[in-house]
Structure 1
Amino acid sequence: MARGPRLLPFGVLLLFMLSLLWYTKSGDGLSYIQGHGYSYNINPAVGFKSPKDSVKDVHNSTLGFQKAFVLNLAERPDKLDAFALASTLTGFTAELIQGVRGEEVVNKALPSLEGLPEKLDSRNNVVGCWRAHLNFAQTVVMEGLTSAIILEDDADWDTSLKDQLAIFAQGSQYVTAVSPNLKPHSPYGDDWDLLWLGHCSNQIKPDDERRFIIENDDTVPLTKHRVNFAGVPDMAAEGYDNNTRIVYEANNGVCLYGYALSFRGARKLLRGQAQRKTFVPIDIGIGYMCRDDPNFKCIGVFPQLIDSHKGAGRLSRDSDIGSFSAQSVRQKGYTFNIVHSTRLNIDHLLAGEMDKIERQWPGDPEVKGPLRAKPVGRIFD
């Protein structure tokens, strides 16, 4: 009995000491999870070796971010079903950010009424989307997350997403000028506000010289298969072939199929959207911030790593903001810009048949030889 009172404080002290191994804070107001130990052997085929520590945590259950989220309207549990299946089969899980109906957002909660669509349906669509993405940024700030990624509930990605992100992370470190002598807290580097991984348009900042070039990549769709809805990098003009992907500082963009915010980026996004004099859809507003705000650093990738899936069946099920005839039916599903679509390979993934993963465009020539990656432009300032 005499030992009891002494053991309890020791146990509490031990738990406290263990917790300190995981949680610390930095001088810039960010709370970092420690103890990851980014020691990782970078693929020797990749030309740029990440600073000392690595991109290992990209392979964890939140893709190297502190949390992952999925955006879903409560009335579309079918989309959440499909997302849960696809994400867990590729090794990550996401928490829910509830979608917002635009009619639930009163005008006084908007930064400006100027620029709103005249038609009520269109107004509700863009306002609901705007508010839902701001709720994501608000969650990052309120929970003090170092970083978080969010995907739309109909997003799709390559079955090798984690391997793609491991290479992208090296590119992000290079583009944000992580010195080989420094240890970044995030596998993606620490000097970024937004990682634009899934888009339908993205452009390179014109005065930025840094590029991270990923060559001989079997997950890059050929030019004839790429579908985008606004400006994208002119790969041919820059001398890149069909199997090349690039990482760069982004100047503008459209569509938010999947993107990540750092803590500082989430705070800037809340500030930037709250002070607009003219209302614009959230993706366009973010694109303007990437283009016009020198203190808002966006890292882009092209071709994109995440896109929007269009499933087989009634077209009326596709969009929560568009409308299609209930009689219109799609015989076969597809996803723009994704070679080994996770959504289209669900049955193979469920069966563990990794050797049977199918390409969306099986007639394309096979990519031979190892993947190569190299930095281009100034190395470190």
Structure 2
Amino acid sequence: MNLALQYGKYGLKKPTLLAVVAGLIIVLALVVLPTRFSAKTSKIALASTAWNQTLGFGKIFYISMPYRTDRQDAMNLLASTSDLKITLINGVDGDGISPKAVPDKADLRPSVLGCWRAHADAWRYVLDNNLETALILEDDIDWDENIHQIFQDLSLQMQDNKLRLVKPTAHERAHAPYGLDWDILFTGQCLDSAHPDYRDLVQVYDDPSVPSRESTQSSFLDYMGSLGVTGDDVGKKRLLSPAYGPACTMGYAITRKGAQRLLLNLSYLGLRGPVDNDMAWTLRDGKIRGYSITPPLFSAWRVGGQKDSDIDGQNLDQPIVQNGNKGGVSKNLKNSARVAMLQQLAMDNWGDYEKARIEVNIDAEG
């Protein structure tokens, strides 16, 4: 039967085009838009876990030799002023590692072997405690005083990021602020290089806490330039890209699968060199998947002298310490948390008493 006759039969008017459009708008408003709004709200809520004491990771570890109580004091002090909770993983004396426990193919001096063992202990902790993710730091680092906001912005970028090979699972969307499609997330490398065939795989985003050009190491400026970030974008943009040639392990996160692959490739199947070098080689071999954040989010804190290294041994030509923490420096950060800590905890008790006394006298005279 003709549709017009259908309407006439029941005494209804034929709907106008305007009425149809209005109906569609109502459906959009009631169904589609709330769904999209809800998805955006869920992403923001998940990213806000970066404000908890572990930045949204299962745990934050830091590795420190048992005798470096000075660094442990510093790390716990710094973490407390940044509202972070960190867990100590004891460094390992390589001289105490049995030759039977040394991975196949490893020919390393004791201090380098001990460094590998401490990181491997952190990977084992992830598996032993069934953690989904963990952030691993070394004990001589600095970070930005806005660390929680920086990681919240990173979370928003890593959810549904264009570098993924598969879509996030429902579990990831609900519980994994940085996703789980990676093995290693480099957040504290001292240099990096990009895969020559995949320079187009980069996600660039705004971050108000990016260090200025002058505060950024030339190696990172070159790396960013190789991925198309130059000119006025330097000092404003941060990059998320596939990890290919990172060096140093000042800060990196791992997933549970990442811990498994690291123990497989850098212990069970052998060890080809220092832990950071073998991580990079394994990335280049395609045996693990990683992302790099540039400029990095963690940087070395340098005080000068022998205190700056536990791997290279004592340099007898240098004093124990040259500048001390008060004169220490870090690069690749906009607002050093260590500098901010000094300002946050500074006080002049007797000066405050004197100011209060003066104010009382003024009030009394008034």
Normalising to structure 2: TM-score of the pair? 0.74
Please say if 1:284 is aligned against 2:274.
Answer: no
SS at structure 2 position matched to 1:259: strand
Q: 1:184 to 1:231 in 2, by over 3 A?
A: farther
Match of 1:337 among 324, 332, 336: 332
Please say if 1:246 is aligned against 2:239.
Answer: yes
CA distance in 1, matches of 2:291, 2:226: 21
Q: Do 1:141 and 1:266's aligned partners in 2 also have CA atoms closer than 8 Å? A: yes
Match of residue 274 from structure 1: 267
Q: Do 2:202 and 2:227's aligned partners in 1 also have CA atoms closer than 8 Å? A: no
Q: Do 2:60 and 2:135's aligned partners in 1 also have CA atoms closer than 8 Å? A: yes
Match of 1:223 among 213, 227, 246: 213
Letter matched to residue 79 of structure 2: S
Cα distance, 1:228 vs structure 2 = 6.5
Match of residue 159 from structure 1: 145
Letter matched to residue 251 of structure 2: G
Match of residue 86 from structure 2: 94
SS at structure 2 position matched to 1:289: helix
Q: Do 2:283 and 2:290's aligned partners in 1 also have CA atoms closer than 8 Å? A: yes
Q: Do 1:202 and 1:231's aligned partners in 2 also have CA atoms closer than 8 Å? A: no
CA distance in 2, matches of 1:226, 1:63: 24
Cα distance, 1:94 vs structure 2 = 0.8
CA distance in 2, matches of 1:286, 1:140: 17
Match of residue 341 from structure 2: 346
SS at structure 1 position matched to 2:75: helix
Q: Higher helix fraction: Structure 1 or Structure 2?
A: 2
Please say if 1:207 is aligned against 2:198.
Answer: yes
Identity of aligned residues (%): 28
Match of residue 26 from structure 1: none
Q: 1:41 to 1:80 in 2, by over 3 A?
A: farther
Q: Between 182-191 and 168-177, report the one with greater CA deviation.
A: 168-177
Q: Do 2:199 and 2:226's aligned partners in 1 also have CA atoms closer than 8 Å? A: no
Cα distance, 1:158 vs structure 2 = 0.3
Cα distance, 1:239 vs structure 2 = 3.9
Q: 1:266 to 1:231 in 2, by over 3 A?
A: farther
Cα distance, 1:186 vs structure 2 = 0.8
Q: Do 2:209 and 2:334's aligned partners in 1 also have CA atoms closer than 8 Å? A: yes
CA distance in 2, matches of 1:290, 1:231: 22
CA distance in 1, matches of 2:292, 2:105: 31
**Long gaps (5+) in structure 2:** 1-36, 348-366
CA distance in 2, matches of 1:114, 1:239: 39
Q: Do 2:220 and 2:295's aligned partners in 1 also have CA atoms closer than 8 Å? A: no
Q: 1:125 to 1:66 in 2, by over 3 A?
A: same
Letter matched to residue 49 of structure 2: D
Q: Between 285-294 and 302-311, report the one with greater CA deviation.
A: 285-294
SS at structure 1 position matched to 2:245: strand
Cα distance, 1:237 vs structure 2 = 6.2
Please say if 1:133 is aligned against 2:119.
Answer: yes
Letter matched to residue 214 of structure 1: Y
Match of residue 20 from structure 2: none
RMSD over equivalenced CA pairs, Å: 2.8
Q: Do 1:40 and 1:53's aligned partners in 2 also have CA atoms closer than 8 Å? A: no
Which of these two proteins has the greater Rg computed from alpha carbons?
A: 2
Match of 1:64 among 56, 65, 69: 56
CA distance in 2, matches of 1:230, 1:115: 31
Q: 1:237 to 1:41 in 2, by over 3 A?
A: closer
CA distance in 2, matches of 1:192, 1:111: 25
Match of residue 11 from structure 1: none
Letter matched to residue 251 of structure 1: Y
| Cα shift readout 1:274-332 (whole Å, capped 9, x = no counterpart) | 244553000111111222125x2101111101011013xx6222221232422762272
CA distance in 1, matches of 2:169, 2:269: 40
SS at structure 1 position matched to 2:205: strand
SS at structure 2 position matched to 1:256: coil
- Correspondences of 1:123-202 after superposition (within 5 Å): 123-173=109-159, 174=161, 175-176=163-164, 179=167, 182=170, 183-202=173-192
Q: 1:208 to 1:238 in 2, by over 3 A?
A: closer
Q: Do 2:246 and 2:280's aligned partners in 1 also have CA atoms closer than 8 Å? A: yes
Q: Do 1:201 and 1:231's aligned partners in 2 also have CA atoms closer than 8 Å? A: no
Q: 1:306 to 1:320 in 2, by over 3 A?
A: same
CA distance in 2, matches of 1:79, 1:286: 25
Equivalent residues, number = 298
**Long gaps (5+) in structure 1:** 1-38, 43-48, 117-122, 353-381
Match of residue 263 from structure 1: 256
CA distance in 1, matches of 2:255, 2:141: 21
Q: Higher strand fraction: Structure 1 or Structure 2?
A: 1
Letter matched to residue 306 of structure 1: F
Q: Do 1:156 and 1:342's aligned partners in 2 also have CA atoms closer than 8 Å? A: yes
CA distance in 1, matches of 2:143, 2:216: 14
Match of 2:300 among 289, 294, 308: 308
Match of residue 28 from structure 2: none
Match of residue 104 from structure 1: 96
Letter matched to residue 346 of structure 1: M
